[in-house]
Amino acid sequence: MGERGTLTAAMEIEKRNLRTAALSAMASLCGGPISATTDSGASLQFDIRRILLWVEAIFNSGNDRMKVIGRRALKNLIVYNKDVAILFEHCIAKCYLTDIPRSYFTVVTEVLLEHADYPSPFWRLLGLCLFNLGNDRSEIRVKSAHVLRALEERQQQAKISKIQDFDISISDKTKAVYKLAQYKISERLSKQHTELAFHIFSEFTFFFKDLPPVAQRNVVAVILPWIQAIELKVDPNGGPTAQSYLLLANLLEITIKSSAALHNEVQALWQALATGPYPGNVRLVLDFIMSLCLERREQNFVEYAKQIVVFLASTNSNPAHKVVDFLLLQITPKAMVPNEKRETAPPPPDIVQFPYCADLADVLPVGTKQAGFSLGQLSLILLVDLMVSPVNLQKDNIPVLLQVVTVLWDHYTPLVQEQAREMLVHLIHELVISKLDDSTPASTREEIEDLIESIRRHDRTVVWGYEDSNGKVDDHDTKVPPSMEYLTGEVVKTFELTFPGMKEQWSRLSLTWATTCPVRHLACRSFQIFRCILTSLDQYMLGDMLARLSNTIADEDTEIQTFAMEILTTLKTLISKLDADKLITFPQLFWTTCACLESINEREFLESVEMLNEFLDKVDFQSPNVRRLLLEGQPSKWEGSFDGLQPLLYQGLRSSMCYQATLNTLDKVVRLPTDALVGDDSRVFFTILANFPRFLYELEQDSFSESILKTTENLLTVTIGQGLASIALVLDNYLSKHYQTGDDFIIQMFSALKEYFLPDLDFKMITTLIGCLTNKTPWVKIKTMRILCRIIPEIDMKRSELAGHGSDLISPLLRLLQTEYCMEALDVLDNIMTMSGSSMDKHHLRMSMTRSTSKAIRKEYERTQSLFGIPEDSGWAIPMPAKKTESTRANIHAAFYMCQDVEGVATDATPTPDVEFHADEFPYGYFPPSDRTETMMSDEARADGSMGDLVSKLDSLDDFFDDLSQSPPSDGRSSRTITEYAPDAFESGAQLYDEQILPILHQASNNVSFQNGFADRPLMSRDGNANTMNPGAFASFSRPGLHSRSITSPSAPASYQPHMNDFMSDDELTEDVFSDGDDERPNTGGGDGSFFLENMIKPLAHSTRTRVRRLTGSRSRDERMPELLRSNTAISPQVPKVPDAFLQNSPQGGML
């Protein structure tokens, strides 16, 4: 056994020796190139990766002899393959990353010392040696110092770092000693080789993320001096240069990945940038991290940005003290626009020259908490953590912070909202509580503490939602959340303790924000804050509001309307809070109210009425001196004539929303003396007209309401004072309930009015009453039409001022023909005998069929001359809204100029501010260029239509549908009348007109004589061919009696039509069914150039009226209820297809 053991041991020794010899042989074989090219040009190469793994396996074997062989093999590979850089770079990397770097570092030092010309960048070797100066093994530290001296000597610089001064410290076994020496050597070298700072930093950060925490701390110690020596620069485009980007990106990566474990070390790195000799570094760092926050839209990164800002601001350097000032400068109204989401800019291309640059897309991955911050919001968030003791904040900056905190109090992004509230708590603690002296009552301290507690627990008394008082349509209060009033009041009371005058400063600042902030919600909130804390008003403040209002009043966009309403509400609040004597010194407020009463927007008009009410309640308009001062204050650049205050109110009568408010204000205004400011002597006449439907409605109720009694007594007093005895008698009899029926009252009142005011005001009376027909309130429509039925027969409708308007004058009645009020409208039309045609008739008809939701058609006719315009759902209607918008804005602008004149500023050089709301991208140019011509009409023959043409065509169209209704069902479908047709299938009545009615009318009127229109054609004889269906068929010299068929119906026997329909389904009907041959139409007769509505309306009383009712409405004379409610399951009719010829080739005499 002993011999076998000896033999086995000997064999093991031989095996080891053989292995060693083999490894040694292989190490010797490494002393040559690892690649070669054969004579044939083929390239042969060893697998470098497998060779390096083989070397690493030798180093990990634990045998010192084998490690020596491994070092010789690695050295040979590096020395004999200088052109293969990866070998040496791999060796350097292992010096950083391996747990036992001794073998690798030994090879590196031997190669560098023995081969001075070995190709490797100086900065790479410098970094390696500096890192290893902190190694725990003394021999490695000494070798590092030795190589450093050798490398520096080879640089042939005039001045060397003399790092040999630290040889003893480096070899010392105490960590505190050699670590300090390592830092000092790095500090000396950083000053000597500053130009290498970015490369050194890049090299260190390349390995940093893969190092253990202990080694990471070693890197931080080495790199700090180099960072302090760095100057960050910007490129010509304003962004960081490639070097600066590299440093900041790599520092961010370290912060994000290591700040939790290495908080103090990361803080030291950022502070090294701030404490160096380059103060501009702080600004560039702030710009960089803030731009990243805005671009990346990642809330999580904001938390890291907050840390960095705190790091920068907590140093004792002067630039660090400026961090707060820099962030405060970013909080401006224009900086509140959220940053738009866009592609992140790529890093500068020059970074490829550096070893490593962090990929921020990997460092900052896009998460689920994306939110677009604005620069102002971000600045506030970053400031919150800086508002801790000691706070060095200028007094002028406090209102800025209070303002931004309050406007962001309800922000939809939780982080912004949370930080806004936290900021207020910090401000109260640091600027109020910490400055209260011992004499402050305990109750005051308790109130402040209670306020802070309320904020922290989000008490409802101090919190409001984003949608609260956000300018919604149903908001008719002061549009200020109650909790905002409470919070702003408490904040003002709190800060006035230590900063007297804060309320005045904040009030002015809030108005500045309100008039300049591009974010609509924040601007509106700023106006609300201003209303909560306003203390005074001067010409400059008023001028700011009027300048903004002149660009936003009477706008079509709902967002802009909301903003304009905030301005009007603010002006109303000012009027209510100013003393009467002070109010008189601001005539601009009165004239702005007058200008806004002409707004095209209903809500703005209603708010302006309330402003006027405040004026009437506050100022004594009975005083001649007051009226004189206001009249003298009229802006010199007022556009258009000013006929007095009262006429501005009349347009409110057309709206169900404004009707009662208008009447209430008329009650006040009509009592005022007549002059150029208030209005002329006709005011009482129009006030009675405005109340006429109301009088009639109340008369038929069980008892009079208190409001009608007050109005009647008021008018009675006025009429007695003006000597209008007959009117006063009628009003007195009304109060006494003398009238048994409404008709008696109408007759008596009209007779009294006629005695004093008619016929001079015939036209205005008719337009005022017909204008009320757009009012959505049912009883206003019905009572007004009842009044019209009684008074129109007493009016000479042939007068040019009435008859010359054609269909425009009765367009509200035509609109009612499409509703359940059809029969009442026909009753009124029965009384209209004759009217002249107009070239605008076809447009007015199209407008009368346009719904309030048809924005495109409303836009098309926004400059078309008309009496009533296109009404909204409530009945609100403004003719020519585009021109009215221009004049309204011009007049407010004229009031704005008055503010400039008072302050002695040259008005010619004062433009109105041009502010855009970011969400709407709405340009606020003062007078926007019109995209349409002033008029939409021409004098071409084809445009010369008349009202007679329109009604006759509608009648013939009705016959067509009537004929359809007589045909038997085909293909399982029944023919349907127009009554069952649901107009909602079209976007608007005008679309129905364009797509279905108009081609039919073209087919029905394709004769040449139609070109001239009804007003210009000779009247036709009734002896002509009865089958002829053209506009001339409707004219008559005398009013005919009632007959069984419409005058547009063919004269064929009654049995003929059903017989024809037996062979035709709805789908098979063509236009020829309702069109007659042109060759049968005689051209005879003469005329006086007018058409007679009587000829078309009166015969409708029998069978034709039934058909017109199907075409235009669904309300029967007896039942007065919508037909659609009784047939709500009906399907819309099958309208026959119009041939392409009629759509492509418009006839010369058609309606277009």
1044 exposure class (CB count in 10 Å sphere: 0-12, 13-18, 19+): exposed
Residue 801 CA to residue 767 CA, distance in Å, equals: 11
Are the beta carbons of 850 and 989 closer than 8 angstroms?
yes
Does residue 487 or residue 1107 have the better pLDDT? Answer: 487
pLDDT > 90 in the chain, percent: 52
Token readout for 395 is 């007094």
Angle between the N-to-C axes of helices 725-735 and 742-757, in degrees from 0 to 180, rounded to the nearest 10: 160
Does residue 991 or residue 23 have the better pLDDT? Answer: 23
User: On the CB side of 759, how many CA atoms lie within 13 Å of its CA?
Assistant: 11
pLDDT digits (tens, 9 = 90+) for 328-343: 999 999 999 988 777 7
pLDDT digits (tens, 9 = 90+) for 1031-1069: 333 343 343 443 333 333 334 444 334 443 444 444 443
pLDDT band of 979, cuts 50, 70, 90: very low
User: On the CB side of 384, how many CA atoms lie within 13 Å of its CA?
Assistant: 24
For residue 302, what pLDDT is reported? 92
What integer is the mean pLDDT of 683-699?
Answer: 96
- For the chain, state the CA radius of gyration: 46
From 147-161, 799-813, 868-882, 940-954, the region with the lowest mean pLDDT:
940-954
What integer is the mean pLDDT of 443-466?
Answer: 94
Name the most confidently modeled range: 363-377, 541-555, 919-933, 1051-1065: 541-555
Residue 545 CA to residue 550 CA, distance in Å, equals: 9
What integer is the mean pLDDT of 745-764?
Answer: 95
User: Which of 993, 991, 958, 994 lies closest to 1113, judged by CA?
Assistant: 958
From 36-45, 483-492, 500-509, the region with the lowest mean pLDDT:
36-45
Does residue 538 or residue 438 have the better pLDDT? Answer: 538
Are the beta carbons of 414 and 511 closer than 8 angstroms?
no
State the DSSP H helix or E strand holding residue 1001, giving kind and residue range, or none if neither.
helix 998-1004
Does residue 971 or residue 10 have the better pLDDT? Answer: 10
From 372-376, 832-836, 871-875, the region with the lowest mean pLDDT:
832-836
pLDDT band of 285, cuts 50, 70, 90: very high
pLDDT band of 263, cuts 50, 70, 90: very high
Relative to beta strand 35-37, strand 43-45 is antiparallel
Does residue 216 or residue 987 have the better pLDDT? Answer: 216
Eight-class DSSP state of 607: H
For residue 1121, what pLDDT is reported? 41
User: Which of 358, 359, 356 lies closest to 124, judged by CA?
Assistant: 356
What integer is the mean pLDDT of 551-569?
Answer: 94
pLDDT at 627 over 90: yes
Chain centre distance of CA 666? 37
Name the most confidently modeled range: 77-86, 685-694, 897-906: 685-694
pLDDT at 1083 over 60: no
From 21-30, 284-293, 945-954, the region with the lowest mean pLDDT:
945-954
DSSP per-residue letters across 527-576 = HHHHHHH-----HHHHHHHHHHHHHHTT-SSHHHHHHHHHHHHHHHHHHH
| Average pLDDT in the chain | 80
The alpha carbon dihedral of 425, 431, 436, 437 has a sign of positive
For residue 936, what pLDDT is reported? 32
For residue 32, what pLDDT is reported? 86
pLDDT at 493 over 70: yes
State the DSSP H helix or E strand holding residue 697, giving kind and residue range, or none if neither.
helix 683-699
Q: Is 629 helix (H, G, I), strand (E, B) or coil?
A: helix
Q: Is 37 helix (H, G, I), strand (E, B) or coil?
A: strand
Residue 62 CA to residue 938 CA, distance in Å, equals: 104
Residue-range domain boundaries for the chain: 387-536, 941-1144
Residue 42 CA to residue 200 CA, distance in Å, equals: 40
From 234-238, 248-252, 966-970, 1017-1021, the region with the lowest mean pLDDT:
1017-1021
What integer is the mean pLDDT of 771-787?
Answer: 96
For residue 989, what pLDDT is reported? 54
For residue 983, what pLDDT is reported? 41
Are the beta carbons of 852 and 580 closer than 8 angstroms?
no
pLDDT > 70 in the chain, percent: 76
For residue 835, what pLDDT is reported? 67
pLDDT band of 368, cuts 50, 70, 90: low
For residue 363, what pLDDT is reported? 86
Global pTM reads: 0.76
What integer is the mean pLDDT of 38-55?
Answer: 84
What integer is the mean pLDDT of 676-693?
Answer: 96
From 629-638, 777-786, 832-841, 1038-1047, the region with the lowest mean pLDDT:
1038-1047
What integer is the mean pLDDT of 15-44?
Answer: 82
